[in-house]
Amino acid sequence: MNNNTEDLSDTYRHSGDIFQSIFDEIGKVIVGQREAVTQILITILCDGHALIESNPGLGKTLTVSTMSQILDLKFNRIQCTPDLMPSDITGTYVVEERDGGKEFRFEPGPVFANIVLADEINRASPKTQSALLESMQEKQVTVGNETYLLDRPFFVLATQNPIEMEGTFPLPEAQLDRFLLKINLDYPTFEEEDEIVERYTRNVAPSVNRILTRDKLLELQTLVRDVPISDEMKKRAINIVIQTRKDAEFIEFGASPRASIGLILAAKARALINGRNFVSEEDVVKMAYPVLKHRIILNFESQRKGVTLEHVIDGIIKHAKIL
């Protein structure tokens, strides 16, 4: 126990350098997208899952795979298609000949990794989506009568393509609630795109070094939950979530208490990444958007008036009072 405490103290003391190294290292491969990278890191530190929505070609897969290299985690990618079966994700039994006999052997599916990128999850059938979402929630897979635990840490980064929505199966709202954050990747600026072209039109592709071990990452996850938050900030976060259920003007369905948990955890992670040992109001406010965006359903009135989710969340944050 003492060794664990000492290791934890040591990791805490060097956490600032660790995070800076992670950003520097990922910056070698990914140009810009600082906020998106931060939110992916926050998701990992909170032991959650993220839904990434972006147009094609913005480096979703590259970002996630680079992150897995830096964090020394096993990475698997699942390309979701309409004909994808649940067993294609969870794994299945195969018949194997051994010692002159045949027996079933479980062949783990791609979900048995530390970071799983489920690309275009809205293209998979609802049954397949459920299989993945169940593994996200339970951190285990049940095949037949056997239950297989998934390795820790375990993150699912699911992507959705906002353009090609035809023939897709949008995730139901109840399932969307399982994702901690919804991350948007934006198009790069001219200077960033110039840098991207410069790097990726050469013979030498950029590479990254490992920064963290799995144990260090688990320690960082522990430290995130240890970050102190004042009662005032806690109430502020809860009040923001509750207001999504009370705002009848533009919101059809508000966020669940899972959003309150997610908001506070994400705020703690953001504080630690920014070198603070307490949660500030800025942490709560900044994290409110990615936490709430996929959990709120706007009503027809908002669509009629052209009110966006960002506007609604903005209004809620401004008007939410401390209880």
Partner 1 sequence: MYDDIDDIEKISRAFHRHRFYYKLADFIALTLLLYALSYYFNVGSLFSQYIEYYIVDAISLDEILVMALSILVSAVLVIILYIRKPAIDTIGMIESRNGWMQKRLKAACDTINEDNVVAADLRNQVTSRLKDVDAGSFLNRRHLLTMIIASVVLTIASAGLFTTQTHVDITPEDITTLVDELEGKLPDSAFPPGDNQTSSPDGGLDEDIYGESSIASLEGENVELVIIPGIGTSVTIRHAGQDDDVQFVPSQTYPVDVVSSTAADESYQLLQQLSILDRDLIREYAIQMSQQ
Residues that bind partner 1 (CB under 8 A): 5, 8-9, 12, 223, 226-233, 272, 277-281
Least distance (Å) from partner 1 to the CB of residue 15? 9
For residues 174 and 253, give the distance between their C-alpha atoms in angstroms, rounded to a whole number.
11
- Between residues 227 and 238, which has the closer beta carbon with respect to partner 1? 227
- Between residues 83 and 232, which has the closer beta carbon with respect to partner 1? 232
For residues 68 and 6, give the distance between their C-alpha atoms in angstroms, rounded to a whole number.
26
For residues 207 and 296, give the distance between their C-alpha atoms in angstroms, rounded to a whole number.
39
Least distance (Å) from partner 1 to the CB of residue 241? 19
Least distance (Å) from partner 1 to the CB of residue 274? 13
- Between residues 268 and 294, which has the closer beta carbon with respect to partner 1? 268
Sign of torsion over alpha carbons 16, 62, 208, 116 = positive
Least distance (Å) from partner 1 to the CB of residue 232? 6
From residue 9, give the alpha-carbon distance in Å to each of 5, 45, 211, 265.
6, 17, 18, 20
- Between residues 253 and 278, which has the closer beta carbon with respect to partner 1? 278
Burial of 202 (0-12, 13-18, 19+ CB in 10 A): exposed
- Between residues 174 and 323, which has the closer beta carbon with respect to partner 1? 323
Least distance (Å) from partner 1 to the CB of residue 226? 4
